[in-house]
Amino acid sequence: MDPANTEKRHEPEEARYLSFRQLPDGTMRYGKPALNKFSSALTNGHDFPGAQAMLYAAGVPDRETMKKAPHVGIASVWWEGNPCNMHLLELGKEIKKHIQNDGMLAWQYNTIGVSDGITMGSEGMRFSLQTREIIADSIETVTCAQHHDACIAIPGCDKNMPGVIMAFARHNRPSIMVYGGSIKPGYSETLRKPINISTCYEAHGAYIYKTLESKEEGKYTPDQIMDDIEQHACPGAGACGGMYTANTMSTAIEAMGLTLPNSSTTPAESPAKMRECAKAAAAIRICMEKDITPRKLLTKASFENALVMMMALGGSTNAVLHLLAMAGTAGVPLTLDDFQRVSNKIPFLADLAPSGKYFVADLFDIGGMPSVMKFLCAAGLLDGSIPTVTGKTLAENIEPYPSLPPDQKIIRPLSNPIKPTGHIEILRGNLAPAGAVAKITGKEGLRFTGKALVFNKEHELDAALNQGRIPRGENLVLVVRYEGPKGGPGMPEQLKASAALMGAKLTNVALITDGRYSGASHGFIVGHICPEAAVGGPVAVVRDGDVITIDAEKNRIDMDVSDEEIQERLRSWRPPKPTVTRGVLAKYARLVGDASHGAMTDLF
């Protein structure tokens, strides 16, 4: 039962939701909505004396505070051992301090995460995507079970952002997301250039194919270069610094109105991030006073803004998966066709890693997201009229911020885009009848045809790359299958393989999979092939030597095999034995839906 619907025996129904005062003539006047409308189910009267006793023990100072103060949950995705998340506990403490200074009760807790950077290419990566569901489950559980009146969530790594927004949509209580911020760029002395986490994987490909060299030829050995890159790619706290999945999701969510202005581009270790924590405490009070709840902000118009931002900034393919899941949880109709429609009309403008030169920290230096949104609103590409957590519209939020400097190089003018349309292409064809997601920046061309070279798991391709067995010359389409949501299980990212191909400069190769890619992946890549191999999708019966064509102009992905032959192959196909039969991944494989609907576990 929702605590908000719990019957109160000793007061009028409306008194649970409204503040009231007695006038001189003895009548009662009701005022603004009470900010403790959920927690009051436990704290008014003496219906739940045990609950109140425990709340006193947890820090409630007196009876007056017990009766009147709203309870704000502060949910950080904090854990040690990952730069994206290791500082979030301190951000949460800063928010808690300001919540308490404003006369509210703050209850800090955290949920779990998995580092994509640490698990990439290993069996640990299979646990990554399902953490999105665990994060959503955790925040929903604590918020509802503990009768919190509001929630401020502090995410850091990739799945954290969609996880907290899905939780917001479920409990639908006043909520704000404070993004943990991105990391500073690293610097390599051996390469004499800025580097980041993606550099590690691409350098590994060059290392394997013996093409890794420093700027000063012969001065450093390949091992010395690798040591230098590994030690300096990640110089401190914060999420991976390019327009990878974490920054793709944070910028999209800011464009939806669920964060304070500039949350998505404020660096993790900057003083501005600490100031944001203070502002979040004031903003959550506004959300409670004005009853600004997540589902009022999670609308088709706000998701449209998210798609525009994703295309303009060159965001991660993972955003397709996550935005579909966020929309599905909020009950907003969003499909793959919406992504293609927006991609057809929004130019790719940002010269940001992985395919470009700059990092999100550089974007902050030229005005950050408010300046970018101001530019896009002025161009009529972004909807500034949507409501936000500040109580103002998006346009009102960004109005005080400066416009982009005329001499900046990061965001290209509309007259000179990197690509006149978006980089995300939704492909269909006899290889992916239910859809696939391609990341085509135009730098790789728009069409690729090659012979299939099939790998039944990512580790098979990684082994082939490590041994230098992917040849140059003839065009090849590397097919990695049985890595979808059910087949992986867990739909692991394949940055290790895609980055190795880039580092080795294997330009004769495209990579397709029913798994997914990191936001740091680039090249001629197609993921999210649906139906996946594990459920008998056509990708399960591709054979070595089949000719595959990827056409981003016609939005097709096909193998040169007749429909009759595909059906004949499928009749003789048998699903492989599951690689995981117990534990959380087995449970996830049983519950998860397909990638074209966001890989959700709570489909209705």
Are the C-beta atoms of residues 174 and 288 closer than 8 Å to each other? yes
Question: Annotated catalytic sites, by residue?
Answer: 518
Give the up-direction half-sphere exposure of residue 368: CA atoms within 13 A in the CB hemisphere.
23
Are the C-beta atoms of residues 152 and 294 closer than 8 Å to each other? no
- C-alpha dist (Å) from residue 279 to 171, 260, 272, 274: 23, 8, 10, 9
- Tell me which DSSP letter residue 576 carries: P
Diameter over CA atoms, the chain? 92
Q: Which two tokens stand for residue 487?
A: 């087949």
Give the up-direction half-sphere exposure of residue 9: CA atoms within 13 A in the CB hemisphere.
5
Give the up-direction half-sphere exposure of residue 601: CA atoms within 13 A in the CB hemisphere.
22
- Tokens 């009701």 belong to 30
Q: How far apart are CA 387 and CA 314, in angstroms?
A: 25
- DSSP-based three-state secondary structure for 74: strand
User: Could you write out the three-class secondary structure of 82-139?
Assistant: CCCCCCHHHHHHHHHHHHHHCCCEEEEEECCCCCHHHHCCCHHHHHCCHHHHHHHHHH
Nearest to 308 by CA among 401, 391, 262, 373: 373
**Contacts of residue 446, Cβ cutoff 8 Å, sequence gap at least 6:** 440, 551, 552, 553
Nearest to 239 by CA among 124, 122, 137, 113: 113
**Contacts of residue 400, Cβ cutoff 8 Å, sequence gap at least 6:** none
Q: How far apart are CA 515 and CA 513, in angstroms?
A: 5
Residues 149, 151, 152, 155: what is their CA dihedral angle, to the nearest 10 degrees? 170
**Contacts of residue 24, Cβ cutoff 8 Å, sequence gap at least 6:** none
- DSSP-based three-state secondary structure for 394: helix
Q: How far apart are CA 346 and CA 423, in angstroms?
A: 9
- Tokens 């459920």 belong to 535
Pairing of strands 424-429, 432-439: antiparallel
Buried b vs exposed e over 62-82: b needs ≥16 C-beta within 10 Å? eeebbebbbbbbbbbbbbeeb
Buried b vs exposed e over 408-439: b needs ≥16 C-beta within 10 Å? bebbbeeeebbbebbbbbbbbbbbbebbbbbb
- Tokens 């502002």 belong to 279
| Length of the chain as a residue count | 604
DSSP for 432-485, written as a single string: EEEEEEEE--STT-SEEEEEEEEESSHHHHHHHHHTT-S-SSS-EEEEE-S-ST
Angle made by CA atoms 294, 116, 497, in degrees to the nearest 5: 130
